[in-house]
Chain A
């Protein structure tokens, strides 16, 4: 494991570079195929509305994967992640138009732990709504 960020260079409150991830219907079809999650709420508007959703929604695990990138891009080595957890609080609604939706993710160092590890707290929003809660990663830095 070779993180490019040094433990001694970060403090509680250090901000990670924020990122915005676009997601449209094609993204969801591709993620369904790659992940094996073919639940129709992620690609079939008629089905999604039948079960009470406003529209097709992104896979929660897709949002979790995108949020992780703020941490892995910062740390350099994705293998530096020791723990990663989220709560799915609101769905990312993906309309069938040319824009789709945006997932905006920011993160900051919330605690310095032993053994060169830090806890990063992430915030993920879409259309102004918080889509992940308790989103935390523990990363081992250099």
Chain B
């Protein structure tokens, strides 16, 4: 079923703050096998000009994708999540995410398209810190594959 085009431009309320923990950053860096000391050693991060350890560039996706759940699970939109695959992902950073950040995400539906029976959803997540300053924007394209012919 084609998604409702009138959802384009819809913005969802900001999420409750996500507090970025240094051990969560370490766990993520270890999971991707990245030994860069900027992720685990505050002194190494400071030597690069950061106030504390920073997170790998894609770390924030866990936070923005959880926020996108508001969109994906919106019963009014009617997306079939069991058929969803990740199409594209992009980030634009004002600064890296770092330990101690309290981040909120505001999700907006940027596009709703149907192409050859596939539903394509573009979601933008704006990530701000506790001071209201922009940290990063994440763009996520989700594709709900057309159901197979019975």
Contact = CB atoms under 8 A, between A and B. Distances in A.
Interface of A: 1-2, 21, 27, 30-31, 33-37, 60-62, 64-66, 68-69, 72-73, 76-79, 81-88, 134
Given A30-B31, A33-B31, A85-B88, A61 B36 contact: no
Q: Which of A60, A73, A76, A78 has the most CB of B within 10 A?
A: A78
Given A30-B30, A78-B36, 10 more contacts: A34-B31, A35-B31, A60-B89, A64-B89, A72-B57, A77-B38, A79-B96, A81-B57, A83-B93, A84-B57
Interface residues of B, number: 35
A34 B90 contact: no
B89 A2 contact: no
Contact of B33 (A21, A33, A72, A76): A21
Given A35-B62, A36-B66, A77-B38, A2 B48 contact: yes
Q: Which of B56, B58, B61 has the most CB of A within 10 A?
A: B58
Interface string B35-73: 010110000000111100010111001100110000000
A65 B62 CA distance: 12
A19 to B, nearest CB: 11
Given A35-B61, A84-B91, A62 B54 contact: no
A1 B48 CA distance: 6
Contacts of A78: 36, 38-39, 54, 56-57, 96
B27 interface: yes
A60 B39 CA distance: 21
A46 to B, nearest CB: 16
B10 interface: no
Contacts of B49: 1-2, 77, 79
Contacts of A85: 88-91, 139
B91 A34 contact: no
A34 B86 contact: no
A5 to B, nearest CB: 13
Given A35-B62, A36-B66, A60-B86, A72 B36 contact: yes
Given A35-B31, A78-B39, A88-B85, A65 B48 contact: no
